[in-house]
Amino acid sequence: MSRFSPLGPRPGFTLVELLIVLILMGLLGSMVAVSVSSGLLKSKERRFVEDFVASMKRARNSAIGKGRGVNFIIDGQKRAFGINGRKLKEIPKAIEISAEGIVELRDGQYAVTFYPDGSSSGGKIDLSWDSGRKDEFQIGMIWARISHEVVNP
């Protein structure tokens, strides 16, 4: 059917043109959704890692400020972490934690102790994510320096 009438061209779009536009919008929308969802996952990982490091640094600063040792706790049974004596934060199920040189306080509860002179008990903590990402933390003994490296981002 022609878009032209004896009175001249009729305004508007054909059904085929509308379908093509709708299909293109659907494809673009699905590409945006995939991009946003992967960005949200990386954002959650990044926020958790930042919170994990911030808790260790708070424990170190607290030890120096209070003049006594402060423990950064990783509770494997409760799947939580944080500073001893404060509310612990949840470790997501997508993370497996392994460590070397970390002191075991009780069954399933491990700690890095930060001392008032700025040193620590030291150790290495690895966070392995379901996504394949691996975060490695090295806590120095003398200066309690916390170094972080991402493997397989």
Over the chain (153 residues), the average pLDDT of each successive run of 10 is: 58 80 81 62 80 94 94 93 92 92 90 94 93 91 91 71
Report helix, strand or coil for 104.
Answer: strand
In order of start, what are the domains of the chain with their CATH numbers?
Answer: 13-151 (3.55.40.10)
φ, ψ at 136 (rounded to 5°): -115, 130
- Can you point out the beta strands (E) in 6-87? 8-9, 70-75, 80-83
Report CA 102 to chain centroid distance, whole Å.
22
Structure tokens at 30: 């699905």
The residues, ordered by sequence, that sit 6+ positions from 37 with a Cβ below 8 Å of its Cβ are none
Tell me the per-residue pLDDT of 107-126, one tens digit each, with 9 for 90 and over.
889 999 999 999 999 999 99
